[in-house]
A and B are shown apart, each in its own frame.
Chain A
Amino acid sequence: MTRMAQDHEPNDDSTDLELIARWKAGDERAATSLVARHAPSLARFAISLGQRMDVDEVVQDTFVRAFGSLHSFRADSSLRTWLFTIERRLILDRRRSERRRRDDTSVDDVDAATEFDALDEIVAEEAESRVKKAVDQLSRLQKEVFLLRVNEGLSYKEIAEVVGSTEGAARVHYHNAMRAVKESLYV
């Protein structure tokens, strides 16, 4: 079995660790290769977490923070998993800041559904709209686990690292999410 294919394959065939080593040695092109390799997944993940605005900025902040602390990156987890973890924390921090600013106490779990605006329904096809509605009805954690598994192809172990949970809990969240989505779509 192989890992899910990357949607955006960079020209550089080097592994992430090789690129990191090259960047540390002063090769700035290695950083560009790493960004090109992982930025699309991070952008999708940001949107799936309900980040509709400033996705590019969130992705950039993720890379800046990651490269600023590459010395603390441990090779026992993949760089992609680590980037997802950083981005998730950034988005949650942004939400908390916005919540404090708006004095909105129900952003965390409900805003994803409320952010599904009319424009999306007009633009998207019917099936896509139904799927998004079904996914948006999941709890935040279920949605994160579900989309990391389905869209980004992360294993349960990697998902557990990203969301700060256990492998077993990630598996349960995924199957509960799948059941909920199927019921929303077909029942």
Chain B
Amino acid sequence: MFDCANVEMRELLPELAAGALDDATRARVERHVAACAECSSELETLRLVRSAYAATPAVDVRRIAAALPQPVPLPQRAHSGQPVKRWVDWRVAAALTMISVGGLSLAVAHRRSTEAPPRDSTVVASSVDTTRAQPAKPTGAAGPPSGGHDTTRRVNHSARTPSPKAQLAFSGGTDDMDDASIKALLGALDEMDRAPLAPSEEPDPTPVLPVIRTGQR
């Protein structure tokens, strides 16, 4: 006894026996079965098996349904919304983390800028605190802006002794510095080299930002 080599047709025989094929497929399979002794024999076997096991024992549907556990309706949010809530919790945690990290970074940057300001007036200031410092204005010529503490500190710093920390400030290039400024910078560097290394330096209580002197050649 051989099996039909047409696997597609053979696989559809159980559906054909059950009458579960659409019209077009059924017609196609029936044409094949009519010409194929193996599939014809197999289809007959399938029908015999279905007939032999067709008898369905009586089942009491109502009794079974009555024995089922009672449904427990859950609150909509507690039942279906739990994954969403968990997702929201994660998003809130991530947002708080980002805010904390960002705020800490800003605080560190701000502390650096206030604890270690460059002392030399010829050093070009960076854009730290650009919202308050108005770095493009030469304060020596135009005078201090009214009410600006930072600017006041800038004016006063020229009388102070430059410290090595002053050279660690964010600085730009020296292209727009005049000869006097460059000389002052070199002098400050020399002083920094001569300065003794303090074991622990307290932050300067009155930090002074450098004054930008541009366009004064």
Q: Is A127 an interface residue (CB 8 A)?
A: yes
B interface size (C-beta, 8 A): 40
Check B20 against A60 for contact (C-beta < 8 Å).
no
Shortest 8 CB-CB contacts between residues of A and residues of B = A4-B20, A4-B18, A131-B52, A32-B65, A128-B52, A39-B59, A60-B64, A40-B56
Check A48 against B56 for contact (C-beta < 8 Å).
no
Interface-located stretch among B9-17, B108-116, B177-185, B209-217: B9-17
How many A-B pairs with Cβ below 8 Å?
Answer: 133
Q: Is A147 an interface residue (CB 8 A)?
A: yes
As a 0/1 sequence over residues 68 to 97 of chain B, the CB contacts with chain A under 8 angstroms (1 = contact) are 111101000000000000000000000000
Check A24 against B73 for contact (C-beta < 8 Å).
yes
Q: Is A35 an interface residue (CB 8 A)?
A: yes
Give the chain A neighbours of B70 by CB distance below 8 A. 28
Give the chain A neighbours of B48 by CB distance below 8 A. 127-128, 131, 185
Give the chain B neighbours of A8 by CB distance below 8 A. 56
Q: Which of A24, A48, A132 contacts B71 (CB 8 A)?
A: A24
Check A44 against B19 for contact (C-beta < 8 Å).
no
* A41 closest partner in B (C-beta): B56
As a 0/1 sequence over residues 41 to 65 of chain A, the CB contacts with chain B under 8 angstroms (1 = contact) are 0111001100000011001100110
State the Cβ distance, A29 to closest chain B Cβ, in Å: 9
Q: How far is the CA of A31 from the CA of B65 in the complex (A)?
A: 6
Q: Is A101 an interface residue (CB 8 A)?
A: no
Give the chain B neighbours of A182 by CB distance below 8 A. 1, 41-42, 45
Q: Is B128 an interface residue (CB 8 A)?
A: no
Check A183 against B1 for contact (C-beta < 8 Å).
yes
Q: Is B67 an interface residue (CB 8 A)?
A: yes
Q: List 28 A-B contacts (CB under 8 A).
A: A1-B12, A1-B21, A2-B21, A2-B22, A4-B14, A5-B19, A25-B73, A26-B71, A31-B71, A32-B61, A39-B59, A43-B56, A56-B58, A59-B64, A63-B67, A64-B68, A131-B48, A131-B51, A135-B49, A135-B52, A147-B53, A150-B14, A150-B49, A151-B53, A179-B3, A181-B49, A182-B41, A183-B1
Check A39 against B64 for contact (C-beta < 8 Å).
yes
State the Cβ distance, B158 to closest chain A Cβ, in Å: 77
Q: How far is the CA of A138 from the CA of B15 in the complex (A)?
A: 22
Give the chain A neighbours of B62 by CB distance below 8 A. 32
State the Cβ distance, B11 to closest chain A Cβ, in Å: 9
* A20 closest partner in B (C-beta): B71
A interface size (C-beta, 8 A): 53
Q: How far is the CA of A42 from the CA of B59 in the complex (A)?
A: 10
Q: How far is the CA of A4 from the CA of B12 in the complex (A)?
A: 11
* A156 closest partner in B (C-beta): B11
Give the chain B neighbours of A3 by CB distance below 8 A. 20
Using known A-B contacts A131-B49, A181-B45, determine if residue A153 contacts B20 with beta carbons closer than 8 Å: yes
State the Cβ distance, B71 to closest chain A Cβ, in Å: 5
**Given A44-B53, A131-B51, A150-B49, 5 further pairs, Cβ under 8 A:** A1-B21, A7-B56, A64-B67, A128-B48, A147-B49
As a 0/1 sequence over residues 121 to 135 of chain A, the CB contacts with chain B under 8 angstroms (1 = contact) are 000100110011001
Q: How far is the CA of A8 from the CA of B59 in the complex (A)?
A: 12
State the Cβ distance, B177 to closest chain A Cβ, in Å: 73
Give the chain A neighbours of B25 by CB distance below 8 A. 1
Q: How far is the CA of A68 from the CA of B69 in the complex (A)?
A: 6
State the Cβ distance, A96 to closest chain B Cβ, in Å: 23
Q: Is A178 an interface residue (CB 8 A)?
A: yes
Near B by CB (< 8 A), chain A positions 8-27 give 8, 23-27
* B20 closest partner in A (C-beta): A4
Check B57 against A35 for contact (C-beta < 8 Å).
no
Using known A-B contacts A39-B61, A55-B57, A150-B14, determine if residue A23 contacts B71 with beta carbons closer than 8 Å: yes
